């Protein structure tokens, strides 16, 4: 059993114990792909997994437009209200932090375990959802640079 399998098993266990179904499913799928000889699928996911994840996240976020639950007038008027203006600012900051997170993960992939553990803790104790690992990595990157100074 390779180290990667052990780490995925630990992440699966942490997800199950912490009640984090999304982390559990992701770890289980990767374990299945790893142990059943689907190496090409792993390589494909390694090359395109982050992009595919963002696409699926955006599909979920854009569904209200596709189902006509949100229209142009409501969307435009929301942008000039306080919540809309704050959302634009936070969205801009989140995009920046996500880019910093991707860069940090490329240089220090070992921080991923800490992000997963933090995500499991946040889901379990703070009743959060594990939707922001790239932003979390970006925040870690910014804080890391501040500590390094």
Residue range 56-77, pLDDT digits in tens: 988 998 999 999 999 999 999 9
What pLDDT is attached to residue 6?
94
pLDDT at 94 over 90: no
Specify the residue for token string 């854009």. 62
What pLDDT is attached to residue 102?
84
Write out the two tokens for 77. Answer: 């008027």
pLDDT at 130 over 80: no
Return phi, psi of residue 101, to 5°. Answer: -65, -45
What pLDDT is attached to residue 119?
82
- Rounded Cα distance, 145 and 137, in Å: 12
Of the given ranges (59-63, 104-108, 126-130), which has the lowest mean pLDDT?
A: 126-130
Q: What is the largest CA-CA distance in the chain?
A: 57
Write out the two tokens for 6. Answer: 């052990």
What pLDDT is attached to residue 18?
81
- Rounded Cα distance, 9 and 18, in Å: 14
Q: Output the average pLDDT for the chain.
A: 88
- Rounded Cα distance, 127 and 20, in Å: 10
pLDDT in tens, 8-43: 999 899 889 888 888 899 999 999 999 998 889 999
**Angle, CA 149 vertex, CA 109 and CA 141 arms, to 5°:** 30
Tell me the percentage of the chain whose pLDDT exceeds 70.
99
- Rounded Cα distance, 40 and 28, in Å: 17
pLDDT at 108 over 80: yes
């Amino acid at each position: 059993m390779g180290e990667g399998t052990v780490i995925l098993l630990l992440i699966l266990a942490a997800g199950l114990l912490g009640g984090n179904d999304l982390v559990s499913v992701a770890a289980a799928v990767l374990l299945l792909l790893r142990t059943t000889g689907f190496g090409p699928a792993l390589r494909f996911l390694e090359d395109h997994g982050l992009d595919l994840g963002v696409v699926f996240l955006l599909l979920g976020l854009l569904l209200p437009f596709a189902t006509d639950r949100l229209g142009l007038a409501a969307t435009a008027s929301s942008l000039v209200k306080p919540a809309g203006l704050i959302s634009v600012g936070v969205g801009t900051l989140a995009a920046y932090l996500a880019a910093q997170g991707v860069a940090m993960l490329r240089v220090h992939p070992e921080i991923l375990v800490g992000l997963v553990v933090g995500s499991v803790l946040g889901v379990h104790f703070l009743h959060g959802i594990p939707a922001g690992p790239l932003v979390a990595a970006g925040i870690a990157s910014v804080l890391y640079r501040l500590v390094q100074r």
